[in-house]
Amino acid sequence: MKPAPFEYSRPATLDEACALIAADPEARLISGGQTLVPMMAMRLARPTRLIDIARLAELRGIREDGETIVFGAATRQVEAERSALVAAKLPLLAAALPWVGHAPTRARGTIGGSIANADPAAEIPLVLVTLEGSVGVREGSERHDVPARELFIGPMTTALPAAGCIVEARFPVWRDSRIGVGFHEVSARKSDFAYVSAAAQIALDGAGRCARLAVGIGGATPVPTRLDALETALVGKTPTTENVRAAVATVVGDLEMIRDGHASESYRRRVAAGLAERAIMDAAAAAAASKGGRA
């Protein structure tokens, strides 16, 4: 099939792009186009106008800003995957990025596009929620920040206003001295959308006890979900298999799971518990083996 007819605009500035999207409620922003274009080809999306923001310099780049790493919304996923700054300061995102689609789609797909699409199985939104990041949003001439846990409200649905445009994503940096991460997912084939994924980042104290913990589940739940109760259950304890397994079983047992043609609720719950446990234990092992902090 071919897309329904549409107009095409390539604004020269972000201000121009915001004016175009505000003027037409049926218009859509496009940057990488790795999801929108196939949806248009199948007539699942029929925008009246595409507003191409891929070449806006205002929306590109990766930089450190205080306690966060900031990504322009139109930054390519492959740029993040190859970034020395991401590898050094955001090890959880670095671990997740190779699981995002395939190499050709990462070469075109953008950080902001993945977040705005809000697929429950997407890895970048999962890491953003797990680390308690946020996005910067422009609506007309106004700009405001939205915490990641408030952004995703359902499958493929966000709290963004109709004329809103994500301009940047902020991922917090942990400065603890002994940090480790773990990331796992299950899918039909590698790089396909995940049925279940789990991300974990842990900081250990000098005695090997959990000083800080962040764990998130994706794919299995309607939105990427940070398991705050695991931090409460495990901080101050040594992350042994027994401790972690008991805490994960209790927390995951209370989650709402997706049921679809790919997997049942019970399957996703069982796999989510197993992957979360594995991610935490991998993170703990990496933290125990680490030799210093992240300046």
Residues 87 and 156 in one domain: yes
More confident residue, 39 or 244: 244
SS3 50: strand
Residue 249 and residue 183 share a domain: yes
Q: Are residues 113 and 205 in the same domain?
A: no
Same-domain status, 168 and 64:
yes
Output the CA–CA distances (angstroms, integers) from residue 61 to 71, 74, 75, 220, in the order listed.
6, 8, 6, 31
CATH code of residue 147:
3.30.465.10
The count of other CB atoms within 10 Å of the CB of residue 24 is 15
**Mean pLDDT of the 207-212 span:** 96
Is 1 among the domain residues? no
Please indicate, yes or no, if residue 250 is contained in any of the structural domains.
yes
Do 25 and 81 lie in one domain? The reply is: no
- 183 and 84, same domain (yes or no): no
Looking at every residue in the chain, the average pLDDT score rounds to: 94
25 & 119 share domain: no
Alpha-carbon distance of 57 to 199, in angstroms, equals 31
Confidence band for 61, pLDDT divided at 50, 70 and 90: very high
Q: What is the pLDDT of residue 2?
A: 84
How many whole angstroms separate alpha carbon 259 and alpha carbon 243? 29
Q: What per-residue confidence (pLDDT) applies to 295?
A: 45
What pLDDT shows up at residue 262?
87
Domains: count for the chain: 3
Asked if the structure places residue 143 within a domain, the reply is yes
Q: Are strands 49-52 and 7-9 parallel, antiparallel or unpaired?
A: parallel
Are 204 and 276 contained in the same domain? yes
Percent of the chain surpassing pLDDT 70: 98
- DSSP state string for 136-149: EEEETTEEEEEEHH
Task: Give the per-residue pLDDT at 189.
Answer: 80
Q: Higher-confidence residue: 191 or 13?
A: 13
Taken as a whole, the chain contains a residue count of 295
Domain C-terminal end among 133, 148, 172: 172
Task: Say if 128 falls within a structural domain.
Answer: yes
**Mean pLDDT, residues 47-58 taken together:** 92
Question: Has residue 125 been placed in a domain?
Answer: yes
The domain of 142 spans 60-172
Residues 108, 79: one domain?
A: yes
Q: What is the pLDDT of residue 3?
A: 87
The answer, yes or no, to whether residue 181 has pLDDT greater than 80, is: yes
Structure tokens at 34: 């790795």
DSSP 3-68: PPP-EEE--SSHHHHHHHHHH-TT-EEESS-TTHHHHHHTTS---SEEEE-TT-GGG--EEEETTE
State the Cα–Cα distance between residues 138 and 15, nearest whole angstrom. Answer: 9
Extract the runs of DSSP E, i.e. beta strands, from 73-222: 134-139, 142-147, 152-154, 157-158, 164-172, 179-186, 196-204, 210-218
Residue 191 shares a structural domain with residue 256:
yes
- Other Cβ atoms less than 10 A from the Cβ of 256: the count is 11
> Which pLDDT score is estimated for 277?
98
CATH value at residue 210:
3.30.390.50
DSSP 98: G
- Residues 222 and 120 sit within 8 Å (Cβ to Cβ): yes
Please report which confidence band the pLDDT of residue 279 belongs to, taking 50, 70 and 90 as the band edges. Answer: very high
The pLDDT value given to residue 82: 98
Q: Is residue 2 part of a domain?
A: no
Query: How buried is 178 (Cβ within 10 angstroms: 0-12 exposed, 13-18 middle, 19+ buried)?
Result: buried
| Cα torsion angle, 125, 127, 131, 133, sign | negative
Residue 189 lies in a domain: yes
- Note the pLDDT of residue 292: 61
For residues 109-133, average pLDDT:
96
CATH of residue 22's domain is 3.30.43.10
Given a cut of 80, is residue 255 above it in pLDDT? yes
Indicate the pLDDT class of residue 34, thresholds 50, 70 and 90: confident
Place of tokens 């106008």: 49
Asked, for residue 295, whether it belongs to a domain, the answer is: no
| 3-class SS of residue 75 | coil
